[in-house]
A = this chain, B = another copy of it.
Amino acid sequence: MENQASINKLLEYFEKRVSLSEADKALIASLYKPVKFKKKDYLFQQGEICKYQGFVTKGTFRTYYTDNKALEHVLYFAFEDWWVGDIASFYDHEPSGLNVQALQDSELLLLNHADSEKLFNAVPALEKVFRVIIQRHLTVLQKRFLMTVSANAEERFLELLERCPSIEQLVPQHQIASYLGILPESLSRMKKQIAKREKGL
């Protein structure tokens, strides 16, 4: 994507939430760096410090965790106009427990920690925007957690399809299984069951 188009995407995103002066916009454009990611490239990996907050201007990312049995668990997907990063690692400069990886050729606008301080000092309204983003993020994760402990895999899958109907076009099925907290084999079987039931109707 052409760089100016990327920045415009971000400016549009901000302007839906807060009004910005021309100077604000120029500052934003000067601080966020567009970076391309090939499929499977990482923004950072488990054990590294997350040095950038990323805004997805193109493509798809997954944030995942590798457990001590070497199994991967998808915590989030991020599509266009979403954010990627690890807040704890970014703000506290401590190693992240997460991996952020491109699922296809993608593009991010990156902001480092020093520049984020500059930005917040110059445009305090943005600090509030990010507070709201984090709050919504927390709320979504709470719902996800409660869904995981209160519903079975099929209910979680159907809820996901409802909340994000195009998910099956966007990411491979074994990544969806990982997001749902089950194995690819289980998801495959489950879909077969659902299809059989629907044919029965």
Contact = CB atoms under 8 A, between A and B. Distances in A.
Contact of A88 (B91, B98, B131, B136): B136
A164 interface: no
A87 interface: yes
Interface stretch (A110-118, A146-154, A189-197): A146-154
A188 interface: no
Interface string A94-128: 00011000000000000000000000000000000
B138 A75 contact: no
Interface secondary structure of A, over-half rule = helix
Contacts of A73: 146, 149-150
Contacts of A25: none
A134 interface: yes
Size band of the A side of the interface?
Answer: 20 to 34
A3 interface: no
B141 A145 contact: yes
A139 interface: yes
A145 B143 contact: no
Given A73-B149, A145-B145, A149-B148, A138 B87 contact: yes
Contact of A151 (B67, B87, B134, B149): B67
Contact of A150 (B71, B135, B149): B71
Contacts of A97: 143, 146
Contact of A148 (B69, B132, B135, B145): B145
B136 A138 contact: no
A157 to B, nearest CB: 14
A-B pairs, top 6 by smallest CB distance, nearest first, are A67-B150, A149-B181, A88-B139, A138-B138, A65-B146, A145-B145
Interface of A: 65, 67, 69, 71, 73, 75, 87-88, 91, 97-98, 131-132, 134-139, 141-146, 148-151, 181
